[in-house]
Amino acid sequence: MNMSNLQPSEINTNSIYDCVIVPLRKIHNRAGNLTVVEGLKNLPFEVRRTYYLYDIPGGESRGGHAHKELYQLIIAAGGSFDVLLDDGENKKVVTLNRPYFGLLVVPGIWRELLEFSSGAICLVLASHKYEESDYIREYAQFMEFKGTAR
């Protein structure tokens, strides 16, 4: 997947089926496991921002937005949680519960993080630094962006 050739109109056509589980290499050792993630090697983007969510109370959700250009790899570094993906026409829920699998979320997809287990840690690797102008925070604006406003 070459992101540099995507035009804004093509991002509008991204679907939930473009969001895929990425297996990450697990290096096993009797003293514990190690997983390495390298941008442009096992990801289709260079990692420009990393953050993690933790201490999320039961029943709370996070996310609830889309991005115009940003790619993300979402990993359950500890515990488990669900990711609701929505492309304006289709929805699917992906459960993340292994630190050696990540969910690649492409631009133009609404996402919500739900059902966090106790002690869950959500690690996010992003293709861009924080830019408020890249966020779509209202669902009606997302539907308009996708061209599916009702």
Looking at the structure, give the CATH architecture of the domain made up of residues 3-146: Sandwich (2.60)
4 pLDDT above the threshold of 90 = no
Amino acid occupying residue 35: T
Distance CA 89, CA 79 (A): 30
5 pLDDT above the threshold of 70 = no
Percent of the chain clearing pLDDT 70 (strictly above): 91
Q: 65 catalytic, yes or no?
A: yes
- Of 28, 65, 67, 128, catalytic: 65
Average pLDDT of the chain is 90
Output 8 or 60, whichever has higher pLDDT: 60
The set of residues, in sequence order, having a beta carbon less than 8 Å from that of 101 and lying 6+ positions away, is 21, 22, 23, 24, 75, 76
Q: How deeply is 44 buried, as exposed, middle or buried, from its count of CB atoms within 10 A (0-12, 13-18, 19+)? A: middle
Please give the model's pTM, rounded to 2 decimal places: 0.89
17: helix, strand or coil:
helix
The pLDDT assigned to 147 comes to: 87
Q: What pLDDT, in 10s, does the model give residues 57-115?
A: 877 889 999 999 999 999 999 999 999 999 999 999 999 999 999 999 999 999 999 99
Question: Domain locations in the chain?
Answer: 3-146
Distance CA 111, CA 146 (A): 14
Distances (CA, A) of 5 to 10, 59, 69: 10, 40, 12
The pLDDT assigned to 6 comes to: 45
pLDDT band at 149 (very low <50, low <70, confident <90, very high): low
